[in-house]
């Protein structure tokens, strides 16, 4: 399991990049190309939120190692505005990744245009991976904010 925010981010992005390609795999179908473009834009937007949030958490905590972040938050005041804003931005990015309301408006368009096996994997596999990432980051590094 990943113990660094950098490893968590890279793992999720490797999965996302493969899905962007698979989503537009049916090159003859216009809807598939449109779905890939929408998924790429929304995924990039969500990734930017997550990465910026992780950068703010790093700036406030001084480390990217999840257990060390929890240790530093318990040792110091948990009201550091950098860390709180970073947590908020990471939460927004994760909500986009798992299609949580109100960040789910892109999902029907992408699922309709993607090939059926890709849609099946996107609707289950990526959500499971993103939820595991949420639990890992918030329960491991930020236990007072765990779901």
Q: Is 48's pLDDT higher than 90?
A: yes
Q: Write a three-state SS string for the chain.
A: CCCEHHHHHHHHHHHHHHHHHHHCCCCCCHHHHHHHHHHHHHHHHHHHHHHHHHHHHHHHHCCCEHHHHHHHHHHCCCCCHHHHHHHHHHHHHHHHHCCCCCCCCCHHHHHHHCCHHHHHHHHHHHHHHHHHHHHHHHHHHCHHHCC
- pLDDT given for residue 2 in this prediction: 73
pLDDT digits (tens, 9 = 90+) for 51-103: 999 999 999 888 888 888 888 877 776 677 888 899 899 999 999 988 888 88
Express as a percent the part of the chain with pLDDT over 70.
92
Q: Is 42's pLDDT higher than 80?
A: yes
Q: Is 147's pLDDT higher than 70?
A: no
Task: Report the chain's mean pLDDT, rounded to a whole number.
Answer: 86
Q: What mean pLDDT do residues 9-27 have?
A: 90
Model-level pTM?
0.85
- pLDDT given for residue 84 in this prediction: 84
Where do the domains of the chain lie? 5-142
- pLDDT given for residue 146 in this prediction: 57
- pLDDT given for residue 138 in this prediction: 79
């Amino acid at each position: 399991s990943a113990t660094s925010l950098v490893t968590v981010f890279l793992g999720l992005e490797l999965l996302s990049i493969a899905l962007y390609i698979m989503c537009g795999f049916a090159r003859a179908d216009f809807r598939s190309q449109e779905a890939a473009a929408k998924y790429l834009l929304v995924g990039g937007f969500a990734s930017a939120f997550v990465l910026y949030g992780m950068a703010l958490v790093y700036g406030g905590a001084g480390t990217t190692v999840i257990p060390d972040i929890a240790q530093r938050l318990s040792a110091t005041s948990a009201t550091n505005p950098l860390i709180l804003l970073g947590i908020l931005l990471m939460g927004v990015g994760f909500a986009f990744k798992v299609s949580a309301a109100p960040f789910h408006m892109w999902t029907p368009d992408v699922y309709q245009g993607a090939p059926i096996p890709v849609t099946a994997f996107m609707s289950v596999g990526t959500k499971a991976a993103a939820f595991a990432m949420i639990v890992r980051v918030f329960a491991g590094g930020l236990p007072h904010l765990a779901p």
